[in-house]
A = this chain, B = another copy of it.
Amino acid sequence: MVAVPSLFSLRHLLVLSLALNVSLILRALYHERGEDNKWWFCFKKKMMEDAESCFTTSSTASLHNSTREKVIDLDHGDPIMYERFWRQMGDKTTITIPGWQSMSYLSDGSNICWFLEAEFATEVVRLHKVVGNAVTEGRHIVVGTGSSQLILAALYALSSPDAAEPISVVSAVPYYSSYPSMADYQKSGLYQWAGDAENFDKEGPYIELVTSPNNPDGYRRKSMVNRNQGLLIHDLAYYWPQYTPISSPSDHDLTLFTASKTTGHAGMRIGWALVRDKEVAKKMTKFIELNTIGVSKDSQLRAAKVLKAVSESCGEENHKNGESFFKYSYNLMAQRWKQLREVVDAGDMFTIPQFSPAFCTFFGKETEPQPAFVWLKCEGDIEDCETFLRGHKIITRSGTQFGASPKYVRISMLDTDETFIQFIERLSAIQERE
């Protein structure tokens, strides 16, 4: 909460209150008439200036902001945008679990991944077949408590306990902000964060995290180091049709996916790995056994139901009727990116990535990438984009956390409609004001 400074008088409060009243009345009018928002922002700016002139201490600015502007937190990639779709689906993905079900630790003792629910595995294979984004033949499925656990399991499985030193873990800048701390927080003697893959020139084995489409910038990626002794982990959390054109089924040694980004069910904490090598799958399973003795069965069962509904929604008929989950989410993302580009292009303060369209085998047409995050750059004199936007109550993640320049920030595109609209308005207002 923002602390209330003790320095302002009744006069200050009155001016602020009047400004707010006028602001709210005009806001209502603007909404009713659907007028162009330029006039609105001009008026608001004038009112703000008048209100600001009443205050003499810098600490009162925060009061002023808090009265007028809500904090818009787009730091995390919480995918709550999809909630509306699942509400529309009604009972189709409602899961009922009786109290006596799924009590055992064990799911299938004959499977390498002994805690993998067969139903969930079936739906994973089915969905990849429907979407065409991954080869599942000849792969072992390892389920994880989200793909985070699977990244750690993969680092463990690909490193050797007998090595003279920890194996280097690299990823190209800008890399997912959690990779360095995930690799280093345990101070493991097995593996160690070694930074940007593009500048990596150490001899010997290494693990490269290839995130494609990339978090934060949304570009498609391949391995950067490309040497003999490289072990690759393909983090394909965003390789789904709503985010990027599906060009062909991914066909790597170790590939990770997660329900959080596929369907928006982050609270389930369910991810899966497609693993070619049996011994690697065994070691990943061992990691999860020592880490959490398996993965919630309730969430695996729920995930199975949700993935099944997604596959079924992609059936010919649903697809045509616009009920396909991917069509719905693709359209929503397209609309958001369009709105964002319009606002950004209206000024010269910010720039965002440009993507080339490509043929998407899933939609059977050319589509454009529309990532789950915007990798936004503050142009001109603004050196610290995160601090600048924070000043305008937009919480983002600084480029420095991705190994990049502070001129960049990562912003989530997956929040609610309400928050997204507020964000677009705020961005527009900033461009008008500054």
A-B pairs with beta carbons under 8 Å apart, 22 shown? A76-B105, A78-B104, A83-B100, A89-B99, A91-B98, A94-B99, A95-B298, A99-B306, A102-B267, A103-B265, A105-B267, A144-B292, A145-B296, A152-B291, A185-B287, A186-B189, A187-B188, A266-B293, A269-B293, A270-B296, A298-B302, A299-B299
What residues of chain B lie closer than 8 Å to A144, measured between beta carbons?
Answer: 292
| Cα-based distance from A290 to B92 in the complex (angstroms) | 33
| Cα-based distance from A87 to B89 in the complex (angstroms) | 31
Per the 8 Å Cβ criterion, residues 244-284 of A in contact with B are 260, 264-270
Establish whether residues B290 and A185, one from each chain, have CB atoms under 8 Å apart when the complex forms: yes
Per the 8 Å Cβ criterion, residues 64-107 of A in contact with B are 76, 78-80, 82-84, 86-87, 89, 91-100, 102-107
A99 touches which of B92, B161, B182 (Cβ 8 Å): B92
How close is A312's CB to chain B, nearest CB, in angstroms?
Answer: 13
Establish whether residues B178 and A290, one from each chain, have CB atoms under 8 Å apart when the complex forms: yes
Closest to A97 in B: B95
How close is A105's CB to chain B, nearest CB, in angstroms?
Answer: 4
How many copies of the polypeptide does the oligomer hold? 2
Establish whether residues A186 and B181, one from each chain, have CB atoms under 8 Å apart when the complex forms: no
Using known A-B contacts A187-B161, A298-B268, A299-B298, determine if residue A292 contacts B102 with beta carbons closer than 8 Å: no
Establish whether residues B103 and A267, one from each chain, have CB atoms under 8 Å apart when the complex forms: yes
For the complex of A and B, list the 8 residue pairs with the smallest distance between their C-beta atoms, beginning with the closest.
A93-B99, A187-B189, A86-B100, A267-B297, A296-B296, A145-B292, A102-B267, A86-B99
What residues of chain B lie closer than 8 Å to A265, measured between beta carbons?
Answer: 102-103
What residues of chain B lie closer than 8 Å to A94, measured between beta carbons?
Answer: 96-99
Per the 8 Å Cβ criterion, residues 167-206 of A in contact with B are 178, 181-182, 185-190
Establish whether residues A148 and B293, one from each chain, have CB atoms under 8 Å apart when the complex forms: yes
Closest to A85 in B: B100
Per the 8 Å Cβ criterion, residues 137-165 of A in contact with B are 144-146, 148-149, 152, 156, 161
Using known A-B contacts A80-B104, A298-B298, determine if residue A149 contacts B264 with beta carbons closer than 8 Å: no
A296 touches which of B91, B92, B96, B269 (Cβ 8 Å): B269
Establish whether residues B103 and A79, one from each chain, have CB atoms under 8 Å apart when the complex forms: yes
The reply on A294 being an interface residue by CB < 8 A is yes
What residues of chain B lie closer than 8 Å to A95, measured between beta carbons?
Answer: 96-97, 99, 298
Establish whether residues A106 and B92, one from each chain, have CB atoms under 8 Å apart when the complex forms: no
What residues of chain B lie closer than 8 Å to A299, measured between beta carbons?
Answer: 296, 298-299
What residues of chain B lie closer than 8 Å to A82, measured between beta carbons?
Answer: 103
The reply on A112 being an interface residue by CB < 8 A is no
The reply on A295 being an interface residue by CB < 8 A is yes
The reply on A309 being an interface residue by CB < 8 A is yes
A103 touches which of B89, B102, B264, B295 (Cβ 8 Å): B264
